Amino acid sequence: MGTSNRRSDAVSGRYSQARIYRRLLPYLRPYRVSVIVVVVVLLAQVALGLLEPWWMQILVDNGLLGKPLPNWVRQALPPLGAGRSRAIVVFAVLLGITLWIASRLLEIAGDYLKSRVNARLTLAFQADLFNHLQRLSFSYHDRTSVGDSLYRLNNDAGFISTLLWGNFRHLLSSGLTLIGVLWVVVHLDGQLALLALLAAPFLYASVGFYGRHFKARSLRVKSMESASQTIPQEVFSCLRVVKAFGQEEREERRFRDQSWGALLARLRLSLQQSLFSSGLGLVTKLNRSLILLVGGFHVLEGHLTVGMLIVILDYVGRIHQPLQEIGETFTDIQLSLASADRVLDVLDVEPEIRDRPGAKTLGAVRGGFAFENVCFAYRPGHTVLHDVSFQACPGEVVAIVGPTGGGKSTLANLIARFYDPEQGRVTLDGQDLRDLTVGTLRENIALVLQDPILFHGSVRDNIAYGRPGASMGEVVAAAKAAHAHGFITTLPDGYASQVGERGGRLSGGERQRIAIARAFLKAAPVLILDEPTSSVDAGTELLIVETLNRLMANRTTFIIAHRLSTIRRADQVLVMDEGRLVQRGTQAELLSREGLFAKLHAIQTAGPRPYQAEVPA
């Protein structure tokens, strides 16, 4: 599935609500005890909220206007008998304060528990999404920007706590509050209760309108924001190139233009949402004003007391508030579903490189590799390997050479099973790589790249990356074997020294030797060296070649090289050109006959030709 297809699917919202909830509800199960506690606290909050307006009725009717309290109150609290207006006022105020304090304490406890569940729920989901993104095949990442993946991980994934948990809480709280308030208001003044419900049809009709008009727009804005986040990631990862070519201002303009477009789209959406919310607020305001008008007439007619009208107005606000909250919650559900579309769109991408049913694990791996009529294309219709066949015996050193774009790195990608061939097969010890578990293959392959990749951390952590449980003695032994121990001990903190982002605090040769030490420590029977000396000077190359010779001993080694000086130990040489294996043999055999290898060797050994200026005819 291409990026454009995924994007159009996301905008169209191809996941039904039922399907989304079925997929996501299992994330809530580990927190069911906390959820139950929060629901109990929420029920207590609703009950206190229903009691809260009554202290005002006691204050106005019984304290200020001198009307007698109900008999059961006078019997329970004798000091509040007839003629005790001051005591009633004090009691009403204290009651209001007590209810407020109790409500706030419950709110604090509930908010803490809610935040705890929200954070753990979101983290669990983000961790699963992160793990899935790691496991997706290179073919997915080749066509998807890092910025888009990061946006889905950091921004879109946060929807889960709102969709599964936050919306449920709001609907439960608002629904119970609405039922309780309606019950009280109906008993106080049924006509006002009916007027209060006049706003309900408008509020709920707005939910469908919002879903139709704002969900797709929200998805488009998220896509634009994702694209703007991609630019800084690209620039920071290629900062040396940007600085070398003096393109800082150009990249700033590119970031500014893309971000401005996303910002304008977000502002337009926010303005439309604000206008929509203001329209709902106007409906609520008009409805409340109508209730106040009719309620005032009822007081003048003697049907209600002033205190009762105050209580009813408070409850009417509590009718409108849950009605509005329910409408806003359904609106939030639409926005959350937009993010759910984008995240599930990624989670539904199956890794192309995964274990087949019944995949095997190998015990002792000898390291024999074979390509049998292998064809491969990164994109359909653009074949980059054509019918490649060869065999590498266990412990053999195989050099892969050829001009740029010949298919050398593609061979290495297939050996490590970063991709699967379209035709033919690649075997390890006679077993098709697709019949082996991915874990078995990766455990038995070590990789040293042209541009050594180090992680932000200590020297020790980087050497032990392939074997995190290795002892310090094993790490030091690997560093010594890679001729890295000497320079490591001169660093300020030795093996605990931080290497910086991508190893930026070390030289190219030092980074390469740490990468080689990492391969030594892993001690895998198969080794892939992808142009390991192309980025270092001649002196450093000699040291690294000597180190590599020890590393290659008794290991099946594939070494991709432009510099033929690095392949003297090769048992066989594969010459690739335009995706075809055009020559194969030992160096001596290939040099003894005409062909591409002999031409490459002649070019590299002849040295530069003297410059001759053209003489005009």
Per-residue pLDDT reduced to its tens digit, 102-150: 888 888 888 888 888 888 888 888 888 888 888 888 888 888 877 788 8
Per-residue pLDDT reduced to its tens digit, 123-132: 888 888 888 8
Measured CA to CA, the distance from residue 434 to residue 392 in angstroms comes to 18
pLDDT the model gives residue 614: 45
pLDDT the model gives residue 385: 92
Measured CA to CA, the distance from residue 527 to residue 513 in angstroms comes to 15
Measured CA to CA, the distance from residue 220 to residue 231 in angstroms comes to 18
Measured CA to CA, the distance from residue 245 to residue 241 in angstroms comes to 6
Cβ proximity of 43 and 180 under 8 Å = no
Measured CA to CA, the distance from residue 379 to residue 584 in angstroms comes to 27
Q: What does the block give as tokens for 427?
A: 């075997």
pLDDT the model gives residue 10: 37
The strand pairing partners of 379, in sequence order, are 382
pLDDT the model gives residue 537: 58
Cβ proximity of 378 and 384 under 8 Å = yes
Cβ proximity of 61 and 311 under 8 Å = no
Residues in the chain with pLDDT values less than 70: 1-15, 55, 57, 59, 61-66, 68-85, 200, 203-204, 206-213, 215, 237-246, 317, 320-321, 323-324, 532-541, 565, 606-617
Measured CA to CA, the distance from residue 226 to residue 352 in angstroms comes to 25
Residue 304 CA to chain centroid, in angstroms?
58
User: Which three-class secondary structure state does DSSP give residue 399?
Assistant: strand
Q: Which residue is associated with the tokens 């019949």?
A: 435
Instruction: Give the sheet arrangement for strand 580-585, strand by strand.
Output: 445-448, 526-530, 556-560, 397-401, 572-577, 580-585
CA angle 454, 455, 460 (to 5 degrees): 85
Q: Which domains does the chain have, with CATH numbers?
A: 3-347 (1.20.1560.10), 364-444+526-605 (3.40.50.300), 456-523 (no CATH)
559 φ/ψ angles, rounded to the nearest 5 degrees: -120, 115
User: Residue 305: which residues within 8 A CB-CB, separation 6 or more?
Assistant: 57, 60, 61, 65, 67, 299
Q: Distance of CA 461 to CAs 136, 455, 467, 506, Å? A: 25, 8, 9, 15
The strand pairing partners of 526, in sequence order, are 445, 556
pLDDT the model gives residue 4: 38
pLDDT the model gives residue 3: 40
Measured CA to CA, the distance from residue 295 to residue 521 in angstroms comes to 83
